[in-house]
Amino acid sequence: MDFKPSYIKLLNDGSLIKKIEEAKKHITYCNLCPHECAVDRCYKANYSVPKSTF
């Protein structure tokens, strides 16, 4: 039995590129946590949510 990582199927059918582009949207307009701060994480790589908000 040959093991193939699931991303290989995504790569072959073109879905992987779509998923990458969707992930980039979340990084450039961050809404990944409940704070939905909209920070551009590509531009402000050192930005973090203040610890007091957790």
Neighbours of 30 (CB within 10 A): 19
Report if residue 46 sits inside a domain.
yes
Reading the block at residue 28, the tokens are 């450039």
Domains identified in the chain, total number: 1
Report if residue 4 sits inside a domain.
no
The span from the CA of 30 to the CA of 40, in Å, is: 6
Report if residue 44 sits inside a domain.
yes
Q: Are the CB atoms for 29 and 38 separated by under 8 Å? A: yes
Report if residue 21 sits inside a domain.
no
Q: What is the pLDDT of residue 13?
A: 93
11-25 pLDDT, tens digit per residue, is: 999 999 998 888 888
Report if residue 54 sits inside a domain.
yes
**Residue 34 domain boundaries:** 28-54
Return the half-sphere exposure (C-beta side, CA atoms, 13 A cut-off) of residue 10: 9
Report if residue 49 sits inside a domain.
yes
Report if residue 16 sits inside a domain.
no
Is the pTM for the entire model greater than 0.95?
Answer: no
